[in-house]
Amino acid sequence: MSFLSRIAERLIDAAQKNGDLSGLKGEGAPVAVKGGNPHVDVVTEVGHRVMAENGAVPPEVVMRRQLAEARADFRAAETEDEKKRAMLRIADLELRYNMATEARMRRR
C-alpha cells in the first residue's frame, strides 16, 4: 500500500469512528456507476458514446449487415446464375470483413 493510500485509509477510519460518514444522503444504497466498461479509459468511452449518439457505425458492423443481406439473397436466389453471383458477393464480403477484423486486432 502506498503512502497516500495509507493516509487516505487513516482519514476514512477516523471519520468513521467520529460518525462523520453516517447519515449521508444515499447511505445503504448501491453506488451508481457511470459508464459501461471499466477496462476502457474515459476518453475512449466518451468517444464511443458521441459516435453512437450521432449514428456512427463501425465498418465491421456494416460489413456484417451486408453479409447477412448477401446470404439472404443467396437463399432467395432461384437460378444458378443468381446463386453464383450471390456466392461471389458473399466471398468478397467475408474476405473484406476478415481483413478489417485482422487489421483492428493488429492495432491493439
Domain ranges of the chain: 59-108
pLDDT at 32 over 90: no
Cell of 43: 476518453
Count Cβ atoms below 10 Å from residue 96 Cβ, excluding itself. Answer: 15
pLDDT at 1: 67
pLDDT at 35: 62
> In which band, very low, low, confident or very high, does the pLDDT at 38 lie, cut at 50, 70 and 90?
confident
Nearest in space to 87 (alpha carbons), one of 98, 97, 75? 75
Which pTM value belongs to this model?
A: 0.53
